[in-house]
Amino acid sequence: MHINVCKCVFFLVTLAVVATAERRNVIFIVADDLRTSLGCYGDALVKSPNIDQLASKSQVFLNAYVQQAVCAPSRTSMLTGRRPDTTRLYDFNSYWRAHAGNYTTMPQYFKSQGYFSMSVGKVFHPGIASNHTDDYPYSWSIPAYHPASYRFEKKKMCKGEDGRLHANLLCAVNVTEQPGGTLPDLESTDEAVRLLKSRANHDTPFFLAVGFHKPHIPFRIPQEYLSLYPLEKMSLAPDPDVPELLPHVAYNPWMDVRKRDDVQRLNISFPYGPIPKDFQLRIRQHYYAAVSYMDAQVGRLLSALDDLSLSDSTVVVFTSDHGWSLGEHGEWAKYSNFDVTTRVPLIMFVPGLTAAPSWWGESTFPFIDVLNQLDYSFMNGKVIRNTVELVDVFVTVSRLAGLKAPQRCPDVSFQVELCTEGRNLAHTFLHREEGKNTELIAFSQYPRPADTPQVNSDLPDLKDIRVMGYSLRNWDYRYTLWLGFNPKTFQVNLSDVHAGELYMLADDPGEDTNVYSEYDHHGIMRKMTSLPQNVSLWTRMKLQFQYLAAGMKTSGAKV
């Protein structure tokens, strides 16, 4: 009893310290293409014990949404705290500092405040989108690290049934037979642990970003992880068909999946498929296995914090750049506005605030080997059910680490280097969530080259974008408008409505029944277009969302 009282008193004291200006280290972990297929998010099939353990000592945001469901735009948005219409990045082919504005990034802000900032793996999207340097030296104290084995990721590394090597989608491998006897995420974890060791005895706080490549395709993963998911225990998506009332412009034809050698051999018709059911099961099996493999690397990284006595001084953030469709709506990959691609994990551990310190003889993050230890169970530390966005991460993590939070951006902020378009969620760690808040909205978008599926519908270049789908999601429903877009001026024509979607989530949590046509939208559109010219599209859409909600309540619609 005496020990428990001491723990409680110290926990309250630590909470007060964290709420002030003490600076904490930060480990920022971002997965690639990870939807909320984790045990801590209610997926009973997946085996993710290390992330679940993290969640048990963290604050877990159950409804966190990305701003665009594709790598470069989402990562740039999250790391700058600005929406894609501000970064003006919708593809992979421009660098925001030259193309839109000289915006300060999250690691850059920490670096400017005296932190030693480091990048391992895929944090920024490599290439033009981060100036071929991962935004070094702006964002990082040392050049970013990329695993050498990643250069083999898209090559013919997968042994087929014919015994030959192919560039397959399904690519479970014997790691010892791979070049260097390793894989990218294994290398990244090794490097991240090495960097932690190098900073363990420094007085300077650190910001370490670690980007894992999995579960992104191809599923080049250690073959032993497949044993966790026997095919006979796998099931198809509950809604594997393309919804009848889905606008053609909303559909993604998953071209990157189609290009893989093993998928090409299936001779699937464009654009709607479908993929044969037996192959669907194998895709789902490999995706889940990739999640468990990535979870093991997270476990290795977090257990290193214990080994180096850093757990009590380090904020840990875990998230993903977007989700991935596993056959829902007849779709695969990302490239849409549906929940399966825009909803992601968001988990934040703050020592002394979300969990008591580990000084009393037990580790905070003991490694769990999922391949040999199946007996584990965790309860989430604290759950936030209300809607949040990844643009909220920059400002929130800054405050939780002990820095001054960046100010809210003005409605138009192209000339402002440091500000945020997100909300500071730090208060949610200190106050109990009071029921559902339907006023909180997540704002996502996706570009298309035409009203019907094209070979470049998934990832059109900026010059080819003709339609932009703006999607707003709150607790009760998702509302999407597909509007005419001018790629030369970045302007949206609010009176040029190509299609609409409305999903009532109480009765339709899978977003399978589009009821947009059941409501009169003309009055709402008139209100939106009548707003002053200096009002941003985000503000216009938010007001329209509120008008729609008020209209539905008046009509007695179930929300």
- Helix, strand, coil shares, percent, the chain, to 5: 35, 20, 45
Buried b (16+ CB within 10 A) or exposed e, 340-355: bbbbbbbbbbbbbbbb
Size (the chain), residues: 559
125 is catalytic: yes
CA distance linking residue 110 with residue 275, whole number of Å: 46
CA distance linking residue 395 with residue 427, whole number of Å: 12
Angle of CA points 503, 509, 512, to nearest 5°: 55
CA distance linking residue 10 with residue 18, whole number of Å: 12
Catalytic residue selected from 6, 8, 71, 286: 71
Cβ(147)–Cβ(191) below 8 Å: yes
Query: Which regions of 427-517 does DSSP assign to beta strands (E)?
Result: 442-448, 467-473, 477-486, 491-504
The answer to whether the Cα torsion of 257, 261, 263, 264 is positive or negative is positive
| 3-class secondary structure, 78 | helix
Query: Per the structure block, which two tokens stand in for 193?
Result: 């642990």
Catalytic residue selected from 6, 8, 99, 125: 125
CA distance linking residue 470 with residue 443, whole number of Å: 7
CA distance linking residue 55 with residue 52, whole number of Å: 5
Query: Which regions of 409-489 does DSSP assign to beta strands (E)?
Result: 442-448, 467-473, 477-486
Cβ(358)–Cβ(312) below 8 Å: yes
180: left (phi over 0), alpha (psi -120 to 50) or beta: left
| 3-class secondary structure, 273 | coil
CA distance linking residue 409 with residue 82, whole number of Å: 9
What single string gives the DSSP state of each residue in 155-185?
SS-EE-TTSSEE--SEEEE-GGGSGGG--HH
158 is catalytic: no
For residue 247, cis peptide bond before it (omega within 30 degrees of 0): no
State the number of CA atoms in the 13 A half-sphere of 164 facing the CB.
Answer: 5
CA distance linking residue 559 with residue 549, whole number of Å: 9
Helix or strand (DSSP H, E) at 12? helix 2-18
Q: Residue 416: which residues within 8 A CB-CB, separation 6 or more?
A: 101, 409, 410
Active site residues: 71, 125
